[in-house]
Amino acid sequence: MQFSAAQIAVLINGKVEGNPDTPVASFGKIEDAVPGQLAFLANPKYEEHLYSTGASIIIINENQELKGPVKASLIRVPDAYTAFAALLTKYQEIVAQKMTGFQEPAYISKTAKLGSKIFIGAFAYLGENVVIGDYAKIYPNAFIGDNAIVNDYSIIHPGVKIYHDCVIGKHVTIHAGTVIGSDGFGFAPQADGSFKKVPQMGNVIVEDNVEIGANATIDRATIGSTIIRAGAKLDNLIQVAHNVEVGNNTVIAAQAGVSGSTKIGNNVMIGGQAGIVGHIQIADGSKINAQSGVSKSIKTRNAAVTGSPAFDYTSALRSQALSRNLPELEKRLKELEVLVKQLLSEKALP
């Protein structure tokens, strides 16, 4: 597909500088783009490429000052990175809308309810009373269990498993290999030392505009629902346990784990490999550093924590600075001990 600078400017509410008819057919990085490609400049580190790139169109910030001639047509916007992301999203939607129909073989229950202009890939499985919304995409080898719902415009990538009774909202993307709704880790210890399984009777609800990375696992609730609130973004290889709630627009990086019944607030940022114990609350706006171990509730909004066990980020930095100085402090302490002994010896003399 080919678009002109003027057409792109309309899509992202930008202003064209240069030839509005300049065409592009693909995207490229500003440092190595070629004619016919569109690039963007948001990071000042790459500004030098603005004057040498082969890109035909470049999206830049509206306050970007030019230090030399630019061959490309420019589109000025308030935030180049956000505008470029929005453009990629629109392009992806256009491409996705062209993919419709049913590949064979696939199993679709006679009781399933299918929306319009959907795509069902080969070897997909849709169980009893499944509901698939309009424009949804179910890629090959996906499994949608009985009574599960996948709402409008959602994309279920290859190999995703959505267990029975789970609900996926609108404009949700779930990447390959992720499992939604497997049993929570519930086992009751017995007198003889064995463990008796506690049936997991709830489900998982993923609200609108959520993205979940590859090979993540979100366990169904024991009773009630495990909930991923609207706008949340989960990276690859994340474990979310039973009855957890993840708040609106919260982001969780790869390999993090959240234990059962923990409630995570809105706009929380959780770094990679962080671990959070069960039955606690994380306040809105909290920032949890990578590899932190959170063992108690964070009650103050917008707090930043780090370490294991995690505590206040600023205090942790001071502690780290003191730790680095311990060898020098030990040396000074030994010198002081020698000096004190000398003073005491002199005082003891007649």
Residues with catalytic roles: 242
Which among 160, 180, 159, 195 is positioned nearest to 242, based on CA atoms? 180
Does residue 309 have a cis peptide bond before it, meaning omega lies within 30 degrees of 0? yes
How many CB atoms are closer than 10 A to CB 18?
16
Structure-block tokens of residue 154: 């959602």
Contact 219, 207 (CB under 8 A): no
Q: Rounded distance, CA 263 to CA 102, Å?
A: 40
Q: Rounded distance, CA 43 to CA 84, Å?
A: 13
Strand, coil or helix: 61: strand
CA 268 vs CA 76, 123, 236, 247, 295: distances in Å: 31, 38, 17, 8, 16
In the block, residue with structure tokens 């210890």? 189
Torsion angle of alpha carbons 260, 265, 268, 272, nearest 10°?
0
What is the number of alpha carbons within 13 Å of residue 177 lying toward its C-beta? Answer: 8
Beta strands in 169-213 (DSSP E): 173-174, 179-182, 187-189, 195-197, 203-206, 211-212
